[in-house]
Amino acid sequence: MSSIYPASKAQFEGISYLDIGQGPALVLGHPLMWDSAMWRHQLAELSQHFRCIVPDFWGHGESEPAPGATATLADYAASVLALLDHLKIQQFGLIGHGLGSSWAIECCVQAPGRVKALVLMNSFAGLEPEVVNLKYQAMLRDADESQAFCPASVAALTALQFGQHTLANSPELIEDFRQRIGTIQGESAQALAQAGRMWFGRRDSFEDAEKLALPCLLIAGAEDKLRSVLESYLMLDGITGSQLHLIEGAGHLCPLEKPEPVTEHLLNFCLRVMD
């Protein structure tokens, strides 16, 4: 970790971020309930070829909570674009996972001429199915009111993160997540709940994704329970020229569950399109 990460993250208008490596810029967005450290395996390779900017979403990592109850993923995308302006980065590639993919699409909408390539991982550009959305919103509302994630919510969230192979082969990864979420309390739990409401209640950006005119790579864990593989196939059909790689033996957290194939796909794609 020490050879990849600086001693501390930088801060810009309430958003913490890593700035690692040199070369064409890549911006990496992590999923809900995680932070920039989730990309540690990929950054070890990508930072050898690219300048990697890795922000923590509002309420995650060292970032402040979202600046108001009505904040949206589009607002966060605008903040990321302002960060890139601050860093004097004009063009960049986007690599988003789950929640990170949703605000990455918003970046493409707001600044299409600046985005050179897009990776959408374990994600869906459309609306959250209503029944599922209501279930998640109830869980998040409970965490907000009690200022903690109850044991039932922790168990449910943990089960959604990982594939069956990971449950059997990497129990330490699962236990780390379970303990981390189970010990979050107070304003930190409320900030995560607010971020979750933003993601599960996101707008339908599928038509925007269909209009993208840039290289697009889709990656999905074959055992993902949080985002159906069918959703990735729907995006493959809708986004002209996109390509899809399924990661066998992985669930929603394929960058941690199967880091080698995920890193290989990302590196091959980015080296090809980020000239």
Q: Quick: pLDDT tens for 4-61.
A: 555 469 999 999 999 999 999 999 999 999 999 999 999 999 999 999 999 999 999 9
Instruction: For residue 152, give Cα distances in angstroms to 98, 165, 182.
Output: 22, 22, 10
- Look up tokens 């490596």; give the residue: 21
CATH 3.40.50.1820 fits 10-273, yes or no: yes
Q: Give the pLDDT confidence score for residue 4 in this predicted structure.
A: 54
pLDDT band at 1 (very low <50, low <70, confident <90, very high): very low
CB-CB contact of 21 with 49 (8 Å)? yes
Rounded Cα–Cα distance for residues 195 and 201 (Å): 10
In the chain, the N- to C-terminal Cα span, in Å, equals 28
Whole-structure pTM value:
0.96
- What burial class does residue 41 get, using C-beta atoms within 10 Å of its C-beta: 0-12 exposed, 13-18 middle, 19+ buried? middle
CB-CB contact of 269 with 117 (8 Å)? yes
Averaged pLDDT, 158-180? 93
Rounded Cα–Cα distance for residues 63 and 56 (Å): 6
